[in-house]
Amino acid sequence: MRKIKKITYAAIILLFAVSFVAPFFSQAQINDPVYFFVNPEYETDGHKNEQITFLYSSAKAHFYIEKDYLNSLSDQSKIDLNTAVQNTGNLFDTQIYDRVRSIFGSEWNPGIDNDPKITIYFTDMPSEFNGYVRSEDESTSQFAVNSNKREMLYINAKLVGDIILPAVLAHEFQHLINYNQKERITGVKEERWLNEALSEYASTVVADDGSESYLSRRLSIFKNSPNDSLVVWDNEIKDYASVSMFIHYLADIYGDTLVYHVAHSSFVGSAAITDALNKLGVNRDFSQVYTDWTTALFLNQNFDDTKIYAYKNPLLSFLNFRVNAKNTFSVGDTNLIKISVALQDFSPQWYRFIPLKYDLGNPNFLNIKFETLNKQDVFEVAVIITTIAGDITTDVHTVRGGGSMLSVPDFNQDISSVVLVLSSHTKLSNFDNMENKFRTISIEASMSSGAYDIKNGDLLRTKGDDRVYVIKDGYRRWIPSPEVFNGYGHLKWENILEVDEEILNNYKESYLVQFIGDYKVYEIGMGGSTKNWLNITPSQFEASSRKWTSIYEINQKEYDFYREGVPTL
pLDDT (tens place) for every residue of the chain, 569 residues total: 344 444 343 333 323 333 334 333 344 344 455 999 999 999 998 889 999 999 999 999 999 999 999 999 999 999 999 999 999 999 999 999 999 999 999 999 999 999 999 999 999 999 999 999 999 999 988 889 999 999 999 999 999 999 999 999 999 999 999 999 999 999 999 999 999 999 999 999 997 788 899 999 999 999 999 999 999 999 999 999 999 999 999 999 999 999 999 999 999 999 999 999 999 999 999 999 999 999 999 999 998 888 999 999 999 999 999 999 999 999 998 899 999 999 999 999 999 999 999 998 889 999 999 999 999 999 999 999 999 999 999 999 999 889 888 999 999 999 999 999 999 999 999 887 666 799 999 999 999 876 666 889 999 998 778 899 999 988 999 999 999 999 999 998 888 888 888 788 889 999 999 999 899 999 998 788 999 999 999 999 999 999 999 999 999 999 999 999 999 87
Q: Does the global pTM surpass 0.85? A: no
Q: Which residues contact 191 (CB under 8 A, 6 or more apart)?
A: 231, 268, 269, 429, 430, 431, 432
Selected from 1.10.3080.10, 3.30.2010.30, 3.30.450.20, 3.10.620.30, the CATH number assigned to the domain covering 1-189 reads 3.30.2010.30
Element (H, E) at 423: strand 415-424
Q: How far apart are CA 551 and CA 569, in angstroms?
A: 18
Q: Beta strands of 452-551 (E only): which ranges?
A: 459-462, 468-472, 475-479, 496-499, 508-509, 512-515, 522-525, 530-533
Hey, is 317 helix, strand or coil? coil
Q: How far apart are CA 318 and CA 302, in angstroms?
A: 10
Q: What is the DSSP string of 287-312?
A: HHHHHHHHHHHHH-S--STT--SS--
Span 327-448: which CATH code? 2.60.120.510
Q: How far apart are CA 434 and CA 229, in angstroms?
A: 11
